A and B are shown apart, each in its own frame.
Chain A
Amino acid sequence: MKWKKMVASLLIGLMVISTVACGSTNAKSDSGSAKSTESSVKKGDTSGKKKLVVWTLAKDLNQFGDKYKEKHPDVDVQTVVIEPADYPTKVKTAILGGAKEPDIIVGEPQMLQDMYDAGLFEDLNKAPYNAQSYKDKIVNYVWDVGQDSKGIQRAISYQITPAGIYYRRDIAQKVFGTDDPTEISKLFADYKTILTTAQKLNDAGYKIFASDGEMNYFSGDSAWVKGGKLNVDQARYDYMDLCVNLYKGDYTSYAAQWSTPWYQGMAGPMPILKSDTNVWDTESLKKAEASGQTTEVFAYGLPSWGVLTMRDNVKTTSGKWGVCSGPSNGFGGGTYIGISSKSERKALAWDFLKFCTLDEDTSNWWIKASQGDTVSLKSVLQAHADDKNDVYGGEQMYKFWLEQANGIDYSKVTKYDKAIGDAWGTAISEIKTGQKSKNDAISEFYDTVSSTYPDIKVDRK
């Protein structure tokens, strides 16, 4: 009986301890693990390295972490890459649960406002950071993206991401008689002109774009939500019409963005994919090729990081590309780095943040390491203004991107953009594929916005 009691008590004790250990807050468990890791580092690693935990959604920070370790051998930077879709939830859950790690957190523009509002990021305006003293060093719009609604600096990015139109110079010469970026940008001046350009290219046997979503980064003249009201400006409707007309007019090669054929179009000829093209029947594919049913894509609309995408995919067309401005000054993505408000290693985190974003040596290194990413430090951009990029026929890319970045209006960005933009994309898709009439699709879009954000006033046009 005594044995039974003892075993029972022991088991219960074990269970209760493990339950309490599991059920404790993230703060306790995480700080516990942090402490245990730190102590193990101290015990196992005689060099007594300082630890810095980075949670990121961009793999770039792996390289930044390694570079930082090179310069600071006494610091152990532990970088964890998390899928972008899960990132905000994971970071919120950890930090609002009181976790002392991660020390460095990041965000993309569309998710930042929510993360600022939740109090995840440290105030960088206050001492010892005094971030405002670095304001003039960074491209203006990037500085603005890093501020919360009260103007407090919360994050800084090492890169700028203005959008441009990447076009084939050889096709431009053949069809338009010039490959000059200023002249080609006139062919993309507005959506009506883009359709005319598409028609001309079609007549010459080319496709203006691989997909009909290439102008997405340039769409919209103003914010989706203004003064608590849904704001669908004329440019949004024009963009919708453009997508539908490009699809219905057979002006694109029907390749979904980021799909294999979409990348294929960067390297040269690709088959024209129509809904009735049987790509599996060798004979009919050969017939299609013989009858000219392959085409070449003229242009792609991508932010400055598209340089890296193109670099890996242009293959034999390298040197035949150029970049020009689009119908407006758009931008897309960008990784903004900040310090977790719950971090216990804020001084080290600030040093890492400065190293990634405000250090000229690091920016110069990153330009080389990334083979063409566009950094946010004005001085470095200016220093590289005359750099010529061979993929783009010797075009001065950094000079171009800096000009584009100067025209970006960040006030267009709101925390509602993702959900509302997705709903608008659904409406466009339904119209172009004939699933709904334009009126019905737009009406459904209004319903979706009203349902998703009841606080936003929706005036139906």
Chain B
Amino acid sequence: MAVNQKIMPKKMKKKDNIAYLFVLPFVIVFLIFNVYPVLRTLYLSFMNYQGYGIPKFLGIENYTRVFKDKFFWRALLNTIKIWGVNIVVQLGLAYLLTIIFSDIKYKLRGLSIFRAMFYLPNLIAATSVSFLFKTLLDWKYGTINQMLMAAHLTNSPINWLGSPHSAPYVISIISAWMWFGNSFIILMAGVQGIPKDYFEAAAIDGAGKWKVFSKITLPLIRPITLYVFITSLIGGLQMFDLPFLMADGGTAGNPSGSLQTVVMYLYKFGFQTYQVGFASAIAYTLFGIILVVSILQFKILGSKED
């Protein structure tokens, strides 16, 4: 017995070591492709670097430049504006569909088919989506304007992507169209995880649809909502492809810079004017903003759960 006791921990120890070997490949790849670029970007954010030559140390100058730069803040505001409208529409649609599909009275069939259909826009590449909508929304020759005018809803074509008052919201709606299916699937999964007893009990007690949704569904899927919100926020603040492809003048984000997001602004400095140090500082400032907002969101939404 005493002998066995001595042998056991040795075996355990051997097994542990093999486990380390199994995760080693991932760790190596992670260190090279994730950790190193992240640290290198941090290092460069304190440097004056044009992408070649020896970086020169600047201290926090790049960061003070970011904070003083009104175009950075305008880009941030544009990003928040585009994301803000997008998340309202995206989650609103996803919740609406969740209510409909989770209602035990409706007993809607074909959930899997609808789920696939709603998710389809998410599978289309952003380049294709932007090409599609640029064609549909063209000022002079777009199908949307053609339909609106045929229905006499407007007398002259609307310059959807040419006006700073409409262009950001157009991007928001397209983005919401692309992502509501994704949110719907996640929310539906959350709802399906709620025991049916609650809904049945509520139905027996005579609770209405709104009561069921607000008192049972919503509180029980709050962690899922928090997840959707935070992932959407992180993705939203990093928005690049759609506005970049649909804006006039590339990273300038025209009309009037209204489509210039923070990452487009970063791209302008990193890959067009080759101010890599400043671009790195923008990246870390954005990282800081996302971190702070995510913590706040987590605290606000998470605390209610308790």
How far apart are the CA atoms of A178 and B272 in the complex, in Å? 46
Q: Look across to chain A and name the residue whose beta carbon is closest to the beta carbon of B254.
A: A426
How far apart are the CA atoms of A419 and B69 in the complex, in Å? 17
Segment from B81-89, B150-158, B297-305 that makes contact with A = B150-158
Interface Cβ pair total, 8 Å cutoff:
88
Q: A419-B273, A453-B273 are in contact. Are A429 and B69 (CB under 8 A)?
A: no
Q: Look across to chain A and name the residue whose beta carbon is closest to the beta carbon of B61.
A: A454
Task: Judge if B32 is at the interface, Cβ distance under 8 Å.
Answer: yes
Interface pair A96/B52, CB less than 8 Å apart: yes
Segment from B20-28, B99-107, B121-129, B287-295 that makes contact with A = B20-28
Which residues of A in the span 250-308 have a Cβ within 8 Å of any Cβ on B? 273, 275-281
Q: A96-B52, A280-B149, A435-B164 are in contact. Are A19 and B28 (CB under 8 A)?
A: yes
Count of interface residues, chain A, beta-carbon cutoff 8 Å: 43
Produce 1/0 per residue, B9-37, CB < 8 A to A.
00000000010011011001100110000
Q: Look across to chain B and name the residue whose beta carbon is closest to the beta carbon of A274.
A: B156
How far apart are the CA atoms of A426 and B52 in the complex, in Å? 30
How far apart are the CA atoms of A334 and B256 in the complex, in Å? 30
Q: Look across to chain A and name the residue whose beta carbon is closest to the beta carbon of B248.
A: A429
Nearest Cβ on chain A to B13's Cβ, whole angstroms: 14
Which residues of B in the span 99-150 have a Cβ within 8 Å of any Cβ on A? 140-141, 145-146, 149-150
Contacts of A204 in B (CB 8 A): none
Nearest Cβ on chain A to B109's Cβ, whole angstroms: 40
Nearest Cβ on chain A to B191's Cβ, whole angstroms: 40
Which residues of A in the span 1-24 have a Cβ within 8 Å of any Cβ on B? 4-5, 8-9, 11-12, 15-16, 19, 23
Task: Judge if B219 is at the interface, Cβ distance under 8 Å.
Answer: no
Contact of B271 among A89, A280, A425, A451 (CB under 8 A): A89
Nearest Cβ on chain B to A64's Cβ, whole angstroms: 28
Produce 1/0 per residue, B234-246, CB < 8 A to A.
0000000000000
Task: Judge if A67 is at the interface, Cβ distance under 8 Å.
Answer: no
Nearest Cβ on chain B to A137's Cβ, whole angstroms: 32
Contacts of B50 in A (CB 8 A): 117-118
Produce 1/0 per residue, A424-461, CB < 8 A to B.
01100110010110000000000110011110000000
Contact of A11 among B25, B150, B157, B162 (CB under 8 A): B25
Task: Judge if A114 is at the interface, Cβ distance under 8 Å.
Answer: yes
Interface pair B250/A435, CB less than 8 Å apart: no
Contacts of B249 in A (CB 8 A): 422, 425-426
Q: Look across to chain A and name the residue whose beta carbon is closest to the beta carbon of B19.
A: A8
Contacts of A127 in B (CB 8 A): none
Contacts of A453 in B (CB 8 A): 273
Task: Judge if A246 is at the interface, Cβ distance under 8 Å.
Answer: no
Interface pair A454/B272, CB less than 8 Å apart: no
Contacts of B257 in A (CB 8 A): 426
How far apart are the CA atoms of A448 and B74 in the complex, in Å? 12
Task: Judge if A163 is at the interface, Cβ distance under 8 Å.
Answer: no
Interface pair A118/B52, CB less than 8 Å apart: yes
Contacts of B28 in A (CB 8 A): 15-16, 19
How far apart are the CA atoms of A19 and B164 in the complex, in Å? 46
Contacts of B141 in A (CB 8 A): 279-280
Interface pair A12/B21, CB less than 8 Å apart: yes
Which residues of B in the span 265-290 have a Cβ within 8 Å of any Cβ on A? 268-269, 271-274
Q: Look across to chain B and name the residue whose beta carbon is closest to the beta carbon of A418.
A: B272
Q: Look across to chain A and name the residue whose beta carbon is closest to the beta carbon of B70.
A: A447
Interface pair B24/A12, CB less than 8 Å apart: yes
Q: A23-B32, A280-B149, A280-B150 are in contact. Are A5 and B51 (CB under 8 A)?
A: no
Task: Judge if A345 is at the interface, Cβ distance under 8 Å.
Answer: no
Q: A15-B25, A278-B156 are in contact. Are A435 and B18 (CB under 8 A)?
A: no
Q: A419-B273, A430-B256 are in contact. Are A451 and B71 (CB under 8 A)?
A: yes
Interface pair B252/A278, CB less than 8 Å apart: no
Interface pair B71/A448, CB less than 8 Å apart: yes
Q: A12-B21, A119-B52, A419-B272 are in contact. Are A276 and B250 (CB under 8 A)?
A: no
Contacts of B223 in A (CB 8 A): none
Q: Look across to chain B and name the residue whose beta carbon is closest to the beta carbon of A86.
A: B271
Interface pair A92/B52, CB less than 8 Å apart: yes
Contacts of A435 in B (CB 8 A): 164, 255-256
Task: Judge if B211 is at the interface, Cβ distance under 8 Å.
Answer: no
Residues on B lying within 8 angstroms of A by beta carbon are 18, 21-22, 24-25, 28-29, 32-33, 50-52, 65, 69-71, 140-141, 145-146, 149-150, 155-157, 159, 162, 164, 249-250, 252, 254-257, 268-269, 271-274
- 10 closest Cβ pairs, A-B complex: A15-B25, A276-B156, A280-B146, A118-B52, A23-B32, A451-B71, A89-B271, A19-B28, A96-B52, A451-B69
Provide a sorted-by-A list of 11 A–B residue pairs whose CB atoms are within 8 angstroms.
Answer: A4-B18, A9-B21, A12-B25, A19-B25, A19-B28, A89-B271, A117-B50, A419-B272, A419-B273, A451-B70, A452-B273
Known: A9-B21, A96-B51. 6 other contacts (CB 8 A): A5-B18, A16-B28, A92-B51, A118-B52, A451-B69, A452-B269
